Amino acid sequence: MNRAIRILGIDPGLRRTGWGLIGCEGDRLTYVACGSVETNEKMPLAERLVTIHDGLTRIVDEFRPDEAAVEATFVNRDATATLKLGQARGIALLVPAKAGVIVAEYAPNLVKKTIVGAGHAEKAQIRLMVGVLLPKADPQSEDAADALAIALTHAHHRSSAILKAAAR
């Protein structure tokens, strides 16, 4: 009997990077763990990025995911904030990839549509649906709930995501 595929979802953020781990065995999805890596806003950017890197590295080392999924950055009006978020996102892509884990990326609207059924869902709706889909999950932050939603999205779209990654 094969073990469930472990999928790590990552919601990149400079203040808090959410992470969520689920098991996927056929159509059966199970909650494994979730949380967030928090940084101190008073620290220099480079040190905050190191905190995110080290936190995600510990998670990857501890849970040994088979696949990972990261939310794509949306561009907002504040170019500086978008650039900084992009740097945190780079860390979120780098850590699992460096560990040999296949990494997929999903647009925020696709995550919302997959989990809630609408591409413009509110965070509260996402958190509610994550609870419905993973009854044992109790994310303590919106970032952790979003990360679980990203992992769930990957579970639903993983066949096409893996084929795209293999074609590169």
- Note if 143 is an active site residue: yes
| Residue from 67, 71, 105, 146 carrying the catalytic annotation | 71
- Note if 47 is an active site residue: no
Q: Which among 135, 134, 142 is positioned nearest to 7, based on CA atoms?
A: 134
* Three-class SS state of 108: helix
| Residue from 11, 67, 105, 146 carrying the catalytic annotation | 11
What contacts 24+ positions apart, CB below 8 Å, involve 119-125? none
Q: Which two tokens stand for residue 153?
A: 């999205």
- Paired with 16 in beta bridges are 38
- Report how far residue 165's alpha carbon sits from residue 168's, in angstroms, rounded to the nearest whole number: 6
| Residue from 67, 105, 143, 146 carrying the catalytic annotation | 143
∠ Cα 154 53 125 (to 5°) = 40
Residue 71: C-alpha distances to residues 11, 47, 60 (Å): 6, 22, 17
- Provide the annotated active-site residues: 11, 71, 143
